[in-house]
Amino acid sequence: MSEIRVKSTGTIKLFESDNTSSVTIASPASLSANRTITIPDADVTLGAGTTINTNGNDRLITGSGTPNTLTGETNLTYNGTILGVGASADLGAGVHIKVSDTGASVNSSADELIIERSGDNGMTFLNSVSGESFINFGDSGDNDIGQMSYHHSSNHMAFKTNAVERMRILSAGEIAIGTTGASQSAKVTIESGGNVPAMCVEATSSSQTTKVFKVYCARNTTNGTYDLANFDGQSQTKFKIADSGNAANINNSYGAISDQRIKQNITDANSQWDDIKALKVRNFKLKSDTTMTHIGVVAQELEASGMNGLVADSPSAEEHVAYSSDFGSIDGEGVFTQGERVKEVKYSVLYMKSIKCLQEAMEKIETLEAKVTALENA
């Protein structure tokens, strides 16, 4: 058997008897099973349909035996359609870059590109200080019907849906929804150009026990230094809630939906005379603010007078614990456990009771006036 043979057909044989291959490199039993082929400063081109086949303990690249396939023992797999890079990358994915195994499974609706690593991982887009980076979501009708983009010249991030920018995060962290710029010096600006509300807050749980909407400020003042909420018209404030808790509106009025067509069982209210006479109007100071003297009523005293309808219970909150342990507790990790409920007074109902009592007093006064007139004319 020749070690090197050159046949008349141009076939070169290395360590192999006659076969149909153009170049065959084989190892006889007398040689070690470990072989190395080095091609310095050269390119190797594999034509269409070329297969690299090996069956041993391969160090770099092995062939699976299927045309146009390459398999890396530890860091590269390719089966003609799917490419995997990393430790035991999964060929069930389109491109799977795997640094280490996480034990996580891949959703089949999003397995074309997977980046896997046990611990922190990520992806970086590098650009110039005036460039723009895009992630587009396209379809057959529009190649950027959806889009996320970062604009380095102004350092803002934009989000598009239906090929229109819907939200923008500005360089200082302001969020603009429905517009491309924040307005009214706010951290979040929501603009509605159509005949729809600019914002809706909805709690869909039928067992809701906490706040649906909360406005909070860390500043603890009660002297009108700032407003917790402002509702402004085009040129003036229509309604506001001050830091003291006072609510004020432009026309000094409030209302209720009072249409007769939405009511039933309408009867004259009972006498409120005795209730109002039993009412104890008090001066007091709040434990949260000892500088201001208030005038009002005490919920427990209303209940003791039989006016339970003027008192309502609401869940206690964390801030109430500072005034009484009855309202709950806060453990060492800051977890709040609710205790007894907080009593509130329905001042709007008390207002209507007072009006009814005033009407009764007016009737009594009118009766007395009529009797006085009769006596004077006698």
pLDDT value for 180: 87
3-state secondary structure of 268: coil
Show me where the domains of the chain are located.
Answer: 1-35, 132-190, 213-259, 272-314+346-377
Predicted pLDDT at 60: 36
**Residue 328 region, left (φ>0) first, then alpha (ψ -120 to 50), else beta?**
left
Which residues, given as ranges, of the chain have pLDDT below 50?
54-65, 72-73
Token output for 219: 């500043």
The torsion region of residue 119 among left (phi > 0), alpha (psi -120 to 50) and beta comes to left
SS3 state at 13: strand
pLDDT in tens, 25-51: 555 555 555 556 666 666 666 555 555
**Which tokens hold the place of 362?**
């007016």
E strand or H helix that includes residue 302: helix 299-304
Can you give the pLDDT at residue 81? 61
Count, residues in the chain: 378
pLDDT the model gives residue 28? 56
Residue 316 CA, chain-centre distance (Å), reads 26
- What is the CB neighbour count within 10 angstroms for residue 200? 6
Q: What is the 3-state secondary structure (H, E, C) of 205-243?
A: CCCCCCCCCCCCCCCCCCCCCCEEEEEECCCCEEEEEEC
| Per-residue model confidence (pLDDT) at position 233 | 87
d(CA 166, CA 180): 8
Cα 317 from Cα 244, distance rounded (Å): 18
* Triad 15, 20, 21: Cα angle to 5°: 60
Question: For the purposes of burial, counting CB atoms within 10 Å of the CB of 50, is it exposed (0-12), middle (13-18) or buried (19 or more)?
Answer: exposed
151 SS3 class: strand
Tokens read off for 297 = 């009523």
How many C-beta neighbours within 10 Å does residue 98 have? Answer: 22
Looking at residue 170, its pLDDT comes to 93
Distances (CA, A) of 130 to 136, 147, 153, 173: 19, 19, 4, 19
> Which DSSP state fits 261?
G
Query: What integer pLDDT is reported at residue 290 of this predicted model?
Result: 85
**Residue 359 burial by Cβ neighbours in a 10 Å radius (0-12, 13-18, 19+):** middle
pTM: 0.66
320 neighbors 344 (Cβ within 8 angstroms): no
How far is 304 from 280, CA to CA, in rounded Å? 11
CA neighbor of 90 nearest in space, from 70, 69, 115: 115
Count the alpha carbons within 13 Å of 288 in the hemisphere toward its beta carbon: 14
